[in-house]
A and B are shown apart, each in its own frame.
Chain A
């Protein structure tokens, strides 16, 4: 669900969504959420499109996108692996899990593998601290993850 490309149909869908808004004042955040949902990321083309339709300067749009960690301007892999680095996961050795993913995938946190299969990211607390350390692959949550589980989690995705 993360990469749907910059197709015309996505631009049409975003345009329709913006047109359907009862009020454009304060609508930037919901529009960015919608756009990231559609395109998977928020590149310059999408920012310019929003600028025109919402009548908000691109400088402001760029400022907002770069401020919030949930928004991304880079295209991500088919599987986005998010490792929770909240305190509860941290004290239960989530950094070992991060290192193992980095080793197995050959990429660092914040990077995407060359074949666009995997992106590795760290997030701050999904609130499932009872399952610490937690790893999310797209929308699926894995709990009590140890170093040795990393291989299995990756194998599950490629099947």
Chain B
């Protein structure tokens, strides 16, 4: 094996693949071999660096220089300048907008400075398709330690000491879950990895599976040893083809190395893993629905108890944990539960991975200690709001969560604080909203999602969310009265109280939290028939801004109902009574002379 002096780490996550990082990798390799450097410099396709907005990313290791938005055509210049001449390529460096300064090293970037990587430690560092690279970062060391020097009870005790809570959203203590499963006696038990990341705007689990699949396999085997299970299922969304492919490669390699299968490391412990594909049903993220789906049924949730720890897959005791939860396990075993407990807050130890998205400058994946404030996440790490707009809210927890307004932005992010202000951690999607987003419309968006995804088993969720959506639609169309807001609250409370599963019980959260923090906006819609954000089309009017209009007639020709009057070089006028609010004039005007309000 050649002894490389330098490595070019290229992001091979779904985001960067879409911006042709695979073409870039081939081009880098081609140029390197042309220059005769292929035995000196290695190109590594890694998992996600997290800085998805600026992909494809190339990191030069060990220099730690971070290049953004690298195109295949840049390969020659990177190699000639940086690799051969040792000069950094200025034009591809990241410019920190707040400092207006080019930053050379990854750790100088505010995006990375406040992060602490436990679950993501290998993402963007190792080649996920090479088990040797995983092993070289202490990979499978924890499994070896568990199998050769610990009892199942000691493993569970260590996890309990760590205080690790389920990262899928519920926040249930992982150690307890393992203990319950261990205590159920049966001839066969199962470990399930929940990789059905259905929350729109969340991509933490996908990135872990794409960037470091072995960490999940190792943790599942540890869990199997602790609870007494010999078989694991990974239930993953079919929409994640790259993660599925990398997992399959990882499983194959682990089997070949004797790290999965029979008699692992010669200790007599058997454990193997099977990948099962979901098929696009959000409710399957709920553990009982997921189990029904693994068995080949419609994914409808069941009443609990019995809990999966007593009766899960095929009626056998089953322990279901989320991808990110598993990704924390090897570090806890290697460094000890007490080490983990010191990170984060008392009741929510450890770190949490968030997917930052929406109207924020640095869209991407971040991992921070629990208890970091939302302000730090949005403004320091996330780089603030795009295009200098005003922050309005952060939506957490997806369709089950709620909004955090500016007044609550200094809240420390952990399970209990978020619940106390009417939101929830959820799986970790953070969608940032700005002044141009209408909160009623956001609530309506989530209700549409829930209507699509409700499994239909319980009436409150199946019918109730439809009624919520109808009322919200009426509000956005200016046809509602103040009474409608009360109806929303009343119906929401009923749905929460009477639904069977987590999906139904949390479905009204986006409505309730927008009402509690943005009641003014709801009132503006129902009383003044006005949408303050300028989103709800039925409540908008288009007018010509006389100062900007040059009389080019572009809007006049674009109007499908001929409601714009005027002549060349004359200021135009929109006849409001005839306007159908299609926005064609607004779209075509190049002089910002049409105002939408």
Contacts and interface: CB of A to CB of B under 8 A. Distances in A.
Say whether A associates with B: yes
Interface of A: 25-30, 32-33, 56, 60, 63-64, 67-71, 85-88, 90-92, 123-132, 134, 139, 141-143, 147
A142 B17 CA distance: 11
Nearest to A134: B18
Given A87-B201, A142-B18, 11 more contacts: A26-B295, A29-B293, A30-B276, A33-B279, A68-B279, A71-B279, A88-B358, A92-B358, A124-B198, A130-B364, A131-B19
Among B201, B280, B364, find the residue whose CB has the most chain A CB atoms closer than 10 A: B201
Contacts of B192: none
A129 B203 contact: yes
Nearest to A67: B298
B280 A70 contact: yes
Contacts of A33: 238, 277, 279
A69 B238 contact: no
B239 A123 contact: yes
24 contacts: A26-B294, A29-B276, A29-B277, A29-B279, A33-B277, A60-B297, A63-B298, A67-B281, A67-B298, A68-B280, A87-B201, A88-B200, A90-B200, A91-B437, A123-B239, A124-B198, A124-B282, A125-B200, A125-B239, A127-B15, A128-B52, A129-B355, A129-B357, A141-B14
Q: Which 9 A-B pairs have the closest CB atoms?
A: A130-B52, A86-B200, A127-B203, A68-B279, A28-B296, A88-B357, A141-B18, A70-B280, A129-B357
A73 to B, nearest CB: 13
Contacts of B282: 124
A90 B445 contact: yes
Given A126-B239, A127-B240, A87 B395 contact: yes
B295 A70 contact: no
Contacts of B279: 29, 32-33, 68-71
A27 B203 CA distance: 28
B539 interface: no
A67 B587 CA distance: 39
Contacts of A130: 15, 52-53, 55, 357, 363-364
Contacts of B355: 129
Interface in B66-105: none
B558 to A, nearest CB: 13
A42 B207 CA distance: 31
A143 B13 CA distance: 14
Among A91, A139, A142, A143, find the residue whose CB has the most chain B CB atoms closer than 10 A: A91
B200 A64 contact: no
A88 B394 CA distance: 12
A71 B299 CA distance: 14
A126 B15 CA distance: 9
Interface string B251-293: 0000000000000000000000000111111100000000001
Given A88-B363, A127-B14, A27 B357 contact: no
A56 B298 CA distance: 14
A88 B296 contact: no
Contacts of A26: 294-296, 314
A78 B254 CA distance: 39
B127 interface: no
Among A33, A85, A91, A127, find the residue whose CB has the most chain B CB atoms closer than 10 A: A127
B266 to A, nearest CB: 26
A86 to B, nearest CB: 3
Contacts of A142: 18
